[in-house]
Amino acid sequence: MRKKFTGIVAIAAIAAVAALALTGCSTTASASDAAAPAKPFKVVAFTSGNQVPIGAWWVKALTAKAAELGWDLTMIQGDFDFQKMNPAVESAIGQGADAVFDGFTDVASIGSIVTAAKDANIPMFAIDSATSAQDAFAINITTDQQAIADKSMAVLDKALGGVKGKTIMVIGHDPHPGIRLRAALMEKALTAAGAIIAGGEIQKVASPATGRTESLAFVSAYITANPGQLDAVWTGWDDSAMGALKAIDEAGSKAKVVGVNAEAEALAEIQKGGNFLATIEQPWPAIFDTVIADMVAYQKDGTMPAKNYDAVGVNLVDMSNAASITPSDKLK
């Protein structure tokens, strides 16, 4: 009788252990299901300006930052071809996203993308994509174009002993909103101060990719037709300024040059103390960090930026500080 009782206890104990094991397995499975990892923050990013140094830097910087933050990033590079870029971005948005990031693209050229993002209720964050507040964006941060014009005017005024009666060429590029606005502001300020606009109007480069050769042609043609009459050239970006400088040097002219962007070649020429007087540094890394912080805040709890537009200050670069500036085309 004792042996039979002992056997029954042993069997009961084994059954209890087995039941406990099964219970443990069931509990573990439920906890695992509850702790399933959240889907990564999905970002569709695009730029039409990836062929210029700042646009190319933005692509690399965002790709690295997305990897650091664990974002699921779709990067679309437009090569200044909106007919190619816009449908690709719209398609990516249609496949689902949490946010859109627009880098260095004119809002006037991306209407179909804006509509696609709004229809999908996906906020769009942007850098340098308009020069005024636009409801297309949760935030767009660019640089103060009036400040660029004011600082450029001060340099020219000092170097030329006043711009009144001086002949100054203004070179712009309309498809880029920032360059378009600052070129218009320069033309307006020069005209108001009594300067003569070389050629009678802004000389407009067709493509940033050919800005250097087009600007060289503008300046060469003017100097050839008007020997000794050109006093200065202002251009909306440094690659264009380098073309203007080459034309001036080849002609033996003493015309002065002012650019924008603080690129390496421009900084080197400024330090030589020759005809290239100054450029303007735009704080793109700081702007990038601010927009990323806005996107992270939105990712965390849906917080939107307090305002949808900001134009930040810029820095004049001349002989006094050119050696200490990180070139915009050498950003990491």
CATH number for the segment(s) 42-142+284-311: 3.40.50.2300
Report the candidate in 257, 259, 264, 263 with the shortest Cα–Cα distance to residue 279.
259
Q: How many CB atoms lie within 10 A of CB 197?
A: 16
Q: What is the pLDDT of residues 115-170, one digit of tens each?
A: 999 999 999 999 999 999 999 999 999 999 999 999 999 999 999 999 999 999 99
Q: What is the pLDDT of residues 59-102, one digit of tens each?
A: 999 999 999 999 999 999 998 889 999 999 999 999 999 999 99
Q: Do domains 42-142+284-311 and 145-281 have the same CATH topology?
A: yes
Fold of 145-281: Rossmann fold (3.40.50)
pLDDT category at 17 given cuts 50, 70, 90 is very low
Q: What is the pLDDT of residues 210-263, one digit of tens each?
A: 999 999 999 999 999 999 999 999 999 999 999 999 999 999 999 999 999 999
Q: What is the pLDDT of residues 184-221, one digit of tens each?
A: 999 999 999 999 999 999 999 998 779 999 999 999 99
Written in H, E and C, the secondary structure of 266-319 is HHHHHHHCCCEEEEEECCHHHHHHHHHHHHHHHHHHCCCCCCCEEEECCEEECC
Radius of gyration for the alpha carbons in the chain, expressed in angstroms and rounded: 29
Query: Domain extents for the chain?
Result: 1-34, 42-142+284-311, 145-281
Count how many residues are written for the chain.
332
Asked if the model's pLDDT at residue 297 lies above 70, the reply is yes
Buried b (16+ CB within 10 A) or exposed e, 46-77: bbbbbebbbbbbbbebbeebbeeeebebbbbb
Running DSSP on this structure, what letter comes out for residue 144? -
